[in-house]
Each structure stands twice: as structure tokens, then as C-alpha cells.
Structure 1
């Protein structure tokens, strides 16, 4: 059923509202979009079935949980053919929040959270740089996250 579903402006408005506040009740979303709460629920289910919406997440302030350092790590692989093996190992390191397979200077680019510089050093030395296939890393410590948002959905592109 959802495979033939065409996304329209109502879907985009629903997504835009929920991107700002995923906890907003469907009844409130419905009022803003001028549809019923049931309509919002059905449309969200279709968007989930299509893989456009992938669950919900919490946004944490890691510094308040004792993780004072956010860092980005450029990872150089000895061979790109080792990507699958390397990513399987990196998935086992809980401080790694996300990894992107990239073009450009790095083979991979990772975001991590650490408690302090010693934790970062240990993570790099004892875990990440010991992964077979990683030949070098380049670490950048974030001083501040100035922008963290979703893209604006443009109804004209759908």
C-alpha cells in the first residue's frame, strides 16, 4: 500500500512540524495542518513503511552527562576494500556516534563523544587506531556546535 503512496504538501507540513518537536501530539499537529489526528497517524505510518521516517530519537546534552569532548575523526584506510571489516569493528566502540564513508581526504569520517582528553587519547590509541585496515587518523575537537538542524522540506521538489 505505502509503495504507491505519493508524498504531498500535507505530509511535508507534518514532517516539518515534527522535526521541530517530535514529542508534539498528533492531535496538535493535526490542528496546525487542518486534518484529523487519525489522518496524521495514518500518514506517519505510511511514511514509516516507506522508510522516510525511521523512528524517534532523543537529543542529549552529552556534556551534562560527563562527556565534555565532541571530536571528529578523519580515518584513512589502507585499502577501501577493508571498509566492511573496519565498520564492523568501529560499531563495537560505543563512543562513536556516527561514521560516514566519504570521498576526499578521508576514507571515513566519524563523530565521537569522550569524557575528557585522556579518554579521547585512550579511545584513539587503544581502540580506533588498532583496528586492522586503519593506517592513520586525523582528529578535530569541536569547540562549539553552532548549528544542528534538519533541512527545510521544499514542497516544490515533490
Structure 2
């Protein structure tokens, strides 16, 4: 596989159109850009092959019964961060795991049906993981933005 060195303006415009509407056809994007449908198809295939983006379905957690979102900062024992992050991958409630500098070694984002499920997760699951020193649980009260767009205008 060839390495994709840089994205040009056409690639960025294609990504922008797909982010506006992921169901947009290649022919429609081609018309917007005044290029051939083959050009759009080959560029999208190349970007997919090089992991520039992926097609996903972004589900609204509230609409599927997940009413509680928590951001949990974890402090870990030295040398345990990788093992803990790997172990947390097995939980379907956990959507995001990242290593950070600052107050917390790991920050996770997790979704739950209700507060009881969150409390059970923290007290039953997290408390049993070797190497977690403490958990700083923050529950989302109101969401102002949730975006997966990384293409700047």
C-alpha cells in the first residue's frame, strides 16, 4: 500500500461534502466539484485505504436508551496505564479511552441507561481493576455540541 503523503484541496472538499451528508452520492459530489465521478470514487477509495476516514453510523445515545453520559478521569498506578486501557476496551459502555497529561492518566467516556448503571459500573467494575487509584466521575448535564468533523473551513 502506498502512503498518502498529503491531502489536497479536492480531497478536503470531498471530505467536507461527505461530513455534511455521508449518504451523498459520488456523482453528486463530482457535480459540486466539477470533476468526474471516477475521480471522486478513486480519491475516496484511496483515503479509505489510507485510513484518512471511515464510514460510521453516529447513533444518538438518548434515542437508544442511554440517558447518562459520564466522563471519568482515572489515576493509575505507575506502569499500569496500558493494561488498564486495554482492559477497559472490553466494556461496551466505554466509547472512548485516552491517555492524557495533567490531573488524570486516562480519561474515558461511557454511556449508561441510568444513574444506577453508572454507579454499579464505578463501584463494581472499576473498583476491581488492579492499578486504578481513583476515579473522578463527571456526569453530563447538558450537551452543546457533539461533532466528528475535523475539517476546518
Q: Which runs of 5+ in 2 are unaligned?
A: none
Select 1:113's aligned residue among 106, 111, 114.
111
Correspondence for 1:63: 62
User: Structure 2: how far apart are the matches of 1:130 and 1:68?
Assistant: 25
Q: Secondary structure at the match of 1:124?
A: helix
TM value normalised by structure 1: 0.89
Q: Deviations over 1:85-141 (max 9, x none)?
A: 111210111100011110010001110000111000001111122111111000111
Over the aligned positions, Cα root-mean-square deviation in angstroms equals 1.5
- After superposition, give the CA deviation of every residue in 1:43-93 in whole Å (9 maximum; x if it has no partner): 01111222212x2111111112111001100011011x2122111210111
Task: State the alpha-carbon separation in 1 of the partners of residues 22 and 128 from structure 2.
Answer: 39
Matched, 1:152 2:127: no
Q: In structure 1, list runs of 5 or more residues that go unmatched.
A: none
**Residue in structure 2 matched with residue 84 of structure 1 by the alignment:** 82
| CA–CA separation in structure 1 for the residues paired with 2:87 and 2:48 | 29
Stretches (4+) displaced over 4 A: none
Contact 2:85 2:106 in 1 (8 A): no
**When you count helix as a share of all residues, which structure comes out higher?**
1
Aligned length: 152
Q: Partner of 1:152: helix, strand, or coil?
A: coil
Instruction: Find the counterpart in structure 2 of residue 28 from structure 1.
Output: 28
TM-score where L is the length of structure 2: 0.92
